[in-house]
Homo-oligomer: A and B are copies of this chain.
């Protein structure tokens, strides 16, 4: 291997360790930090972010990448070539944004987030409007800086941050049939006479028992609890801290135990991806690739496909409950004794349009995402005015979900994302569902006994499949390349629609 490539990997590994430290500092802030530590914590995080940015954008990194790109020997090594290609992507992205724009986005974003909190509380979009206008103006400047030559629309540059090499037009091509079919499906469910009892979800189960069972499920999934842990936070998340260390969190309510259970499985899916990336060598030490793109995840869409697969395709399946219901007895006692697998399967697979995205079911969730995608695309491309958001939002909720939005708190003010400039992110949630469904069909073709195995709590072959086909590659392939390579087809809405329709048929008899 060339000296430049080796040095580059060494430098990125060091930056990776520094990033691990920043991740730990962030994890601690959400889990165990005492409240009076918060002011100093901001100082610590700003310091680390500065150090990391300085190192990632150091001209010497640029020189080394250029030296690798000019090295013909490197081109014949497809792994190293892919690694350098992605290093170039990261370096260009990090160096393209002017410092003052980054600082202003951070500053205004923090103020706008505060304004959003207050506006949401009072359901008062007008007080948030000037802040959102500022954030959108700044984000448009950001998109301009990041835009690739010949890009079809400014919004593409933002999608590219989270879903590299994917464009709004490509998303639209998959989302449009999905939206149409989903709306139809919802109408069919609405028309069905079947009423699902969700009484089993109201079983009172103390948080420590839910926590213990959550760990049993994680273990069955193949999440390595010696290389990770599960804690409690207000908002569940998964944070890869570093090589051999992945932290998951969930939250417990005494009732509706499935909230925490599916939260845990969801984050566990992210965690299994993080653990599957080649960050450790065979001796359990930091690998040579740690910190480089080959030990990093492909995209948010692919990451989300892993969490959604475990949560929805495994966790909300009949075979899962066949295993989990008797298994849960040890921890839940008699709380679920009077319910059977069929009842739990039905109760965890209802299709009921709701106003709030984070409370939505597996199917309708995608309509929430599509509304945000359509609006933010128009906002960033300048084809819609910020002040028109409430009307456009409400019109779509009526059209796609059949719901009247009673106020902005339960409408366009419900999500924090836009307030601090997170545009281009929402579509990855539905991309996750789409990729999960398409992969799931291929997995079941490759592993014909999978359903039976899940019914016995045997999920290691599924995990091994994901490890080998997806996780081990890091960022060697883009999301769409990976999809084509594994499933033999480009991404399509059909597998997800088949999956959702089949469930609706089983649950609602449509």
Interface hit among A25-33, A59-67, A420-428: A25-33
Find out whether the CB atom of B226 lies under 8 angstroms from the CB atom of A35.
yes
- CB interface residues, A 37-62, toward B, < 8 Å: 37-41, 43-44, 47-48, 51
Find out whether the CB atom of A37 lies under 8 angstroms from the CB atom of B286.
no
Q: Determine the chain B residues whose CB is within 8 A of the CB of A241 once the complex forms.
A: 37
Find out whether the CB atom of B24 lies under 8 angstroms from the CB atom of A43.
no
Find out whether the CB atom of A226 lies under 8 angstroms from the CB atom of B34.
yes
Q: How distant is A241 from chain B, measured CB to nearest CB, in Å?
A: 7
Q: How distant is A347 from chain B, measured CB to nearest CB, in Å?
A: 34
Find out whether the CB atom of B44 lies under 8 angstroms from the CB atom of A244.
no
- Asked whether any CB of chain B lies closer than 8 Å to the CB of A488, the reply is no
Q: How distant is A233 from chain B, measured CB to nearest CB, in Å?
A: 13
Q: How far is the CA of A28 from the CA of B23 in the complex (A)?
A: 12
Q: Determine the chain B residues whose CB is within 8 A of the CB of A36 once the complex forms.
A: 224, 226-227, 244-245, 280, 284
Q: How far is the CA of A370 from the CA of B51 in the complex (A)?
A: 46
**Contact among B18, B32, B38, B285 with A47 in the assembled complex (CB-CB below 8 Å):** B18
Q: Determine the chain B residues whose CB is within 8 A of the CB of A242 once the complex forms.
A: 37, 40-41, 44
A38, closest chain B residue (CB): B244
A246, closest chain B residue (CB): B34
**Contact among B17, B43, B284 with A286 in the assembled complex (CB-CB below 8 Å):** B43
Q: How far is the CA of A222 from the CA of B224 in the complex (A)?
A: 40
Q: How far is the CA of A225 from the CA of B44 in the complex (A)?
A: 21
Q: Determine the chain B residues whose CB is within 8 A of the CB of A39 once the complex forms.
A: 243-244, 280, 284-286
Q: How far is the CA of A51 from the CA of B40 in the complex (A)?
A: 19
Q: How far is the CA of A139 from the CA of B285 in the complex (A)?
A: 30
Interface string of A307-348 (1 = CB under 8 A from B): 000000000000000000000000000000000000000000
- CB interface residues, A 209-266, toward B, < 8 Å: 224-229, 231, 241-245
A242, closest chain B residue (CB): B40
Q: How far is the CA of A34 from the CA of B41 in the complex (A)?
A: 23
Q: How far is the CA of A36 from the CA of B241 in the complex (A)?
A: 12
Find out whether the CB atom of B285 lies under 8 angstroms from the CB atom of A34.
no
- Asked whether any CB of chain B lies closer than 8 Å to the CB of A492, the reply is no
Find out whether the CB atom of A245 lies under 8 angstroms from the CB atom of B17.
no
Q: How far is the CA of A28 from the CA of B28 in the complex (A)?
A: 9
- Asked whether any CB of chain B lies closer than 8 Å to the CB of A467, the reply is no
- Asked whether any CB of chain B lies closer than 8 Å to the CB of A14, the reply is yes
Find out whether the CB atom of B40 lies under 8 angstroms from the CB atom of A245.
yes
- CB interface residues, A 81-131, toward B, < 8 Å: none
Q: How distant is A27 from chain B, measured CB to nearest CB, in Å?
A: 9
Most buried by B among A44, A51, A285: A44
Find out whether the CB atom of A44 lies under 8 angstroms from the CB atom of B32.
no
**Contact among B14, B33, B44, B227 with A17 in the assembled complex (CB-CB below 8 Å):** B44
A290, closest chain B residue (CB): B40
With A28-B28, A32-B32, A229-B32 as contacts: A244 and B21 at CB distance below 8 Å: no
With A28-B28, A32-B32, A242-B44 as contacts: A227 and B21 at CB distance below 8 Å: no
Would you give 8 A-B contacts (Cβ < 8 Å), ordered by A? Answer: A17-B43, A34-B226, A36-B227, A39-B243, A39-B244, A40-B244, A40-B245, A41-B245
Given contacts A35-B227, A40-B280, 14 further A-B contacts (CB under 8 A): A21-B47, A34-B228, A34-B229, A36-B224, A37-B227, A37-B245, A39-B243, A39-B244, A39-B284, A39-B286, A40-B242, A40-B243, A40-B279, A51-B51
By a beta-carbon cutoff of 8 Å, the part of chain A in contact with chain B is 14, 17-18, 20-21, 24-25, 28, 32-41, 43-44, 47-48, 51, 224-229, 231, 241-245, 279-280, 284-286, 290
